[in-house]
Amino acid sequence: MLIVAGMLISEVARRAGIRPSAVRYYEQIGILPAPVRAGGQRRYDETASHRLAIVQRARALGFTLAEIKQLFSGFDRDTPASARWRRLTERKLVELDAMMGRVRSMQQLLRKMQGCQCATLEQCGKAMYRKQCESRSPSPRR
């Protein structure tokens, strides 16, 4: 009887807290390398679990799958992990700063909307339309 080492996809997925379909998808898009196969079954070594830990942390930090793929394969092979993280996190921090600005603007608008005294949505629409037109009109020249 031949015993094949390595974890089945269900074990890798269970350890990572994800579905086997997610593991297959990560393979398909190039985030996980293709595992060895034995008897038609995928067999993973411990590095798959390590890579999935990185994927999960990156997802929790707001990285897209494209950015995560870049983390693994978008650099020269000799680029250390620290330099990879630094480059991607610098960009993500700029993105988050811009997002926070948009969130603050939305909060201000929501607070302003809490003071709405309109009886109907028609009244709200008219007032909003007037303000839009006023903000688009060129200011009078002196």
For residue 25, give its domain range: 1-74
Query: Residue 13's CB: how many other CB atoms inside 10 A?
Result: 20
As a whole-number percent, the residues of the chain with pLDDT over 70 amount to 94
In the predicted model, what is the mean pLDDT of residues 26-31?
Answer: 95
Q: Which two tokens stand for residue 47?
A: 């590095």
Q: At which of 74, 100, 121 does a domain end?
A: 74
Interval 53-99: pLDDT, tens: 999 999 999 999 999 999 999 999 999 999 999 999 999 999 999 99
Q: List the CATH number of the domain containing 35.
A: 1.10.1660.10
User: Is 17 within the bounds of a domain?
Assistant: yes
Q: Domain check: are 33 and 91 in the same one?
A: no
Q: Give the DSSP per-residue string, 7-21.
A: B-HHHHHHHHTS-HH
Domain count, the chain: 2
Q: Domain check: are 20 and 49 in the same one?
A: yes
| Helix, strand, coil percentages, rounded to 5, for the chain | 65, 5, 30
- pTM score, whole prediction: 0.75
For 38, list phi and psi in degrees, rounded to 5: -135, 120
Q: Domain check: are 1 and 70 in the same one?
A: yes
User: Is 142 within the bounds of a domain?
Assistant: no
**Contact of 92 with 61, CB cutoff 8 Å:** yes
Q: Domain check: are 6 and 68 in the same one?
A: yes
Q: Domain check: are 53 and 96 in the same one?
A: no
Q: Provide the b/e sequence for 108-132 (b: ≥16 CB within 10 Å).
A: eeeeeeeeeeeeeeeeeeeeeeeee
Residue with tokens 């620290």: 82
Q: Domain check: are 81 and 128 in the same one?
A: yes
Q: Domain check: are 17 and 51 in the same one?
A: yes
